[in-house]
Structure 1
C-alpha cells in the first residue's frame, strides 16, 4: 500500500518478524529512512511522529512496546489500544 504522499506503508520484507510484531523494536533499531507513525484504535486517526524527539525524551533503547501505552490520540483523546506503524520515505532517483 502506498500513502498518497508517496510513503511506503509496508516495511521491507524480513524487517519485522510477523510472529513478534513491532513491539520488541527499539527506536535505535529503525533505519534512518524509516518513519514512525501512530494510529488510534477508536477513530482510526493516523499521524507521523517525531521519533528523534521521542528518543531524546525516553532514550534510543526504549522499545515501541514500552511506548505504546503512552500514546494518546490528538483527534479524539483515546488512550486505549493505540499502536505504531512503520513506513519508509519514498526516495526518487
Structure 2
C-alpha cells in the first residue's frame, strides 16, 4: 500500500523544489481498512521529496485504517478526493 501524505506535509511537498519536477499523477487513493505500515512510514526518506518537518501527516480512508504514531498522525478523509488528484512523489509515496 502506498503512503498518502496530506495536510501540512503535503503543503511542504508542494512548496519544495521536488514539486517543480511535476511528479506523475496516480489513480491511487487511500483504501478502506488498509493501515499504513508503521515500518514503511518510519523508514521512508521524506526529506528526499522535500518534507523535512516531523510529524508527517498521512491521509487515510477510514478510522479502521488509523495507526497511532507520534511521527505520523493519521487524518481520516471524510470524503476522498477524485481519482487522479494525487501524485507519485517517491517509491511507495
**Both proteins in one fold, TM over 0.5:** no
Greater Rg, structure 1 or structure 2? 1
TM-score (norm 1): 0.25
Structure (1/2) with the larger strand percentage: 1
Structure (1/2) with the larger helix percentage: 2
TM-score (norm 2): 0.25
